[in-house]
Amino acid sequence: MATTIHPPRDPNTLSNYNKWISTHITVNFDILFEQKKLVGNVVHKLKSITDAESTDIILDASHVDINNVKVDGKASHWELLPPLEPYGTALKIKLNDGVRLNDMVEVDISVKTTEKCTALQWLTPAQTSNKKHPYMFSQCQAIHARSVFPCQDTPDVKSTIDFNITSPLPVIASGLPVRDISKKPQLDGKTLYQFHQQLPIPSYLFALASGDVSEAAIGPRSVVATSPDKLRECQWELEADTENFIHAIEKIVYPYAWGEYNVLILPPSFPYGGMENPIFTFATPSIISKDRQNVDVIAHELAHSWSGNLVTNASWEHFWLNEGWTTYLERRILAAVHGEAYRHFSAIIGWKSLADSVEHFGHDHPFTKLVTDLRGKDPDDAFSSIPYEKGFNLLFYLENLLGKDKFDRFIPHYFTKFKGKSLDSYEFKATILDFFQRDQESSKLLDNLDWDAWFYAPGLPPKPQFDTSLVDVVYDLSNKWKSLPDSTFQPQPTDIEGLTANQIVVLLEQIHLFKEPLTAELSRILGDVYGLSKSENIEVSNLYFQVGLRAGDETVYKPTADLLGKIGRMKFVRPLYRNLQKVNRPLAIDTFEKNKDFYHPICRAMVEKDLFGERGE
Ligand code: BES
Ligand code: ZN
């Protein structure tokens, strides 16, 4: 009997993964820093999942240079299909013989990356911390793996991976070093680095970095890797919390499955806060704030080791299953380590960013839905805090509806049932309904829940009751600032005594929200009296500059421009440029021209759009 072929449920891949599944990938790459290229070959072991006539294998590919393709050792016919942006030029490989259900085929593709590769950034020595060596790193999420090598670039397919990478500099990858023989010196002064990822992972978790990095322990199963001149401060920032975080989440879900949990602190052009690459989380150096106040990012990326990396959204339309669950688990970790009030504090900050995103897109915009329609769309364009925070709110709502004890029993069940698999929102719903089926009271509550509204209604969900104990004090202080200059309030350094950096962030957010901006003079006083202008915590200095720019305080213009030359994290860079250009456009343009080569290609393109519209290069 012929098997039924379902259309792929991921609309953002051109691969025919409904007929073939790549079960194992061997990636052999030589890192060529002078040419800014990866050169080598990639071997897919593909399994046929249909017995219908299937003689074509279609893989995603984008801006890669393909030399030849072998199928089971023999040269084969292949072609690149016409470009279909934003999905690229798919690679179609013809098989000579028909195959049957469960047959295996080995496809070996010789490939080079090109300068148009969207996943890789290549840095010159001058762009690195100690300025001695070049550096390269990848960022594949959401659909950039296809610009590194042809693959089934969908979170709905998982493969084990062997990495064989030669480089003149240390290499980091999303696999464990192969025991005993992970480093083999080569004749040309390079070293072969070998890694193996034995748990199946989707393409977007493929990761590579190479540069002058060394490692230091931050816990019994964790190291931090970074430029040798930054190693000690990165170690200090992370060594107090990492193992506590792992321990906390292991109690909530189940033991950590990946062996080691490490963190690579990248050069400052890394465009995100963090990326949950297995074995090695990639993170921005802006979390190294010398006050251990930005380690929430680590709790978040660590939580992805369960939500996302073991249990994965089947397509980017169900991205909340990755990010909403991760935000929920991140806050459970924070509650376990710092107390329940802290979880609520974090959720209140999250609610504000949710409200900001809904405001930004518009209350009826389809991207404000929890489950989105991404047919024909670029998942990066739909990216916002909505899947994070609306997703968190659905899970928090379920926790309160069922009671924490009952919800806590569901968590390990869910992460066990889908371990190593990908799922969509409908399977999530079916699973929780099924789990509580025999508990009449819970079952009734779940049946009566308006699932369609949660999944498909645009705009804000119902606002929960949060514990405001950690924000009340901040709101009181911001109200005093609001009353100026008419009141007798005299700002003193003691106003912020005992407040955490994150509470100061909330204070600045509130001040930034005032209908009337502060006067330039008051903004300067705010910075001077509270010592904000000199903060090492970039979350604080970023927001202080935002307040100062809005106030027209010229003394922050230069420090803002200086900061824009030091950091490439889009969360800070884009808003700072947008606001700097409002008060001093020539300075904004000048700053961009000076720094554009420093930014990651994605960040550069975004800022260019923000400053000049769609002019292109
Ligand atoms: N996986 C995301 C980053 C990402 C999402 C990269 C979509 C590319 C496409 C990561 O886990 C993340 O959410 N990072 C946040 C950290 C934060 C929420 C603590 C970031 O970069 O700001
Ligand atoms: Zn995340």
346: CATH: 1.10.390.10
Mean pLDDT of 226-251: 98
Q: Which helix (H) or strand (E) holds 69?
A: strand 64-71
pLDDT band at 614 (very low <50, low <70, confident <90, very high): low
Instruction: Assess contact for 108 and 43: CB atoms under 8 A.
Output: yes
* Cα(306) to centroid(ligand 1), Å: 15
* pLDDT bucket at 616, cuts 50 / 70 / 90: very low
In what order do the strands lie in the sheet containing 214-219?
Answer: 214-219, 222-226, 262-265, 280-283, 274-275
User: Is the predicted pLDDT of residue 602 greater than 90, yes or no?
Assistant: no
Domain boundary residue, one of 204, 228, 247: 204
pLDDT reported for residue 181: 73
Whether 224 maps to a domain, the answer reads no
pLDDT of residue 133 exceeding 80: yes
Mean pLDDT on 533-542: 89
Above 60 in pLDDT, residue 57?
yes
Is 419 contained in some domain?
Answer: yes
The DSSP bridge pattern shows strands 120-123 and 135-138 to be antiparallel
Instruction: Give residue ranges with CB within 6 A of ligand 1.
Output: 141-142, 272-276, 296-297, 300-301, 304, 323, 383, 571
Shortest-distance Cα residue to atom 11 of ligand 1: 275
Pocket test for ligand 1, best of 143, 144, 272 (most atoms within 8 A of CB): 272
Give the containing element (helix H, strand E) for 48: strand 37-48
Domain co-membership, 484 together with 434: no
Burial 582-605 (b: 16+ CB within 10 A, else e): ebbeebbeebbeebeebbbbbbbe
Whether 448 and 473 share a structural domain = no
Q: Given pLDDT bands bounded at 50, 70 and 90, which one contains residue 441?
A: very high
Please give the tally of structural domains in the chain.
3
pLDDT confidence of residue 129? 81
- The secondary structure element, H or E, covering residue 281 is strand 280-283
Q: Which of 456, 477, 510 is the last residue of a domain?
A: 456
CB neighbours (10 Å) of residue 381?
10
CB 86 within 8 A of CB 143: yes
pLDDT at position 180 is 66
Residue 45 covered by a domain: yes
Q: How far, in Å, CA of 417 to CA of 433, rounded?
A: 14
Q: What is the pLDDT of residue 617?
A: 39
Query: Mean pLDDT throughout 546-571?
Result: 95
Are 173 and 24 in a shared domain? yes
Determine which residue's CA is closest to atom 1 belonging to ligand 1: 275
Q: In a mutational test of the pocket of ligand 1, which residue from 137, 300, 389 has the highest number of ligand atoms less than 8 Å from its CB?
A: 300
Query: What does the pLDDT read at residue 4?
Result: 66
438 annotated ligand-binding residue: no
Residues 22 and 50 in one domain: yes
From the CA of 323, how far away is ligand 1's center (Å)?
Answer: 8
Mean pLDDT of the chain: 95
Q: CA-to-CA distance for 72 and 66, rounded, in angstroms?
A: 17
Quick one: which atom of ligand 1 is closest to the CA of 272?
Answer: 21
Same domain (yes/no): 147, 24: yes
Dist. CA 67 → ligand 2 center (Å): 36
Identify the CATH number of the domain in which residue 110 sits: 2.60.40.1730
Q: Tokens for 428, please give them.
A: 């999530």
Q: For position 482, which CATH number holds?
A: 1.25.40.320
| pLDDT on residue 72 | 96
**DSSP summary character for residue 4:** P
**Taking the chain, what is the end-to-end CA distance rounded to the nearest angstrom?**
56
Name the domain boundary from 204, 233, 265. 204
Regarding whether 109 and 188 lie in a shared domain, the answer is yes
Among the listed residues 87, 388, 530, 544, the single catalytic one is: 388
Cα 86 to chain centroid distance, Å, stands at 19
Considering every ligand atom shown, identify the ligand nearest to the alpha carbon of residue 389 and give its number: 1
Q: Do residues 159 and 174 make contact, with C-beta atoms less than 8 angstroms apart?
A: no
317 annotated as ligand-binding: no
What is the tens place of the pLDDT at every residue in 210-219? 999 999 999 9
Give me the domain span that covers residue 109: 1-125+132-204
pLDDT band at 2, cuts 50/70/90?
low
Tokens found for residue 390: 């609306």
Give a yes or no: residue 506 inside a domain.
yes
Decide: 167 and 193 in contact? Cβ < 8 Å.
Answer: yes
Can you tell me which atom of ligand 1 is nearest the CA of 296? 19
Q: Whose CA is nearest to atom 3 of ligand 1?
A: 275
**Domain co-membership, 2 together with 147:** yes
Q: Is the pLDDT of residue 358 over 80?
A: yes
Of all residues in the chain, the percent with pLDDT exceeding 70 is 99
Catalytic pick among 193, 204, 301, 317: 301
Q: Which atom of ligand 1 is nearest to the CA of 284?
A: 21
The answer to whether 86 is a known ligand-binding residue is no
Residues 80 and 178 in one domain: yes
Give tens-digit pLDDT for 486-519.
999 999 999 999 999 999 999 999 999 899 999 9
What average pLDDT does range 420-443 have in this prediction? 98
Known binding residue 272? Answer is yes
Mean pLDDT of 93-113: 93
Strand (E) or helix (H) holding 57: strand 56-59
- The amino acid that residue 106 corresponds to is E
137 and 42 together in one domain? yes
Share of the chain above pLDDT 90, in %: 89
pLDDT in tens, 270-321: 999 999 999 999 999 999 999 999 999 999 999 999 999 999 999 999 999 9
For residue 323, report the distance from its CA to the centre of ligand 2, in Å: 5
Q: Is residue 115 in some structural domain?
A: yes
Q: DSSP label at 404?
A: H
233 known ligand binder: no
**213 in a structural domain:** no
Tell whether 116 is covered by a domain.
Answer: yes
Lowest-confidence pick of 169-173, 288-292, 429-433, 522-526: 288-292
Distance of CA 325 to the CA centre of its chain: 14
Asked about 301 being catalytic, the answer comes back as yes
pLDDT surpasses 70 at 43: yes
Per-residue model confidence as pLDDT tens digits over 559-599 = 999 999 999 999 999 989 999 999 999 999 999 999 998 99
Active-site annotation holds for 388 = yes
Q: Is 385 within a domain?
A: yes
Residue 151, annotated as binding a ligand: no
> Among residues 364, 350, 427, which one has the least CA distance to residue 393?
350
**427, 502: one domain:** no
Q: Name which residue leads in pLDDT, 444 or 380.
A: 444
| Co-location of 388 and 531 in the same domain | no
Same domain, 71 and 182: yes
**What ligand is nearest to the CA atom of residue 281?**
1
Distances (CA, A) of 258 to 35, 77, 218, 277, 565: 34, 38, 17, 11, 36
148 and 120 Cβ atoms separated by less than 8 Å:
yes
Rounded to the nearest whole angstrom, what is the distance from the C-alpha of residue 271 to the centroid of ligand 1?
A: 10
Minimum-distance ligand 1 atom for the alpha carbon of 297: 19
Closest residue CA from atom 2 of ligand 1: 275
**Ligand 2 centroid to residue 141 C-alpha, Å:** 11
Calculate how far, in angstroms, residue 417's C-alpha sits from the geometric centre of ligand 2: 21
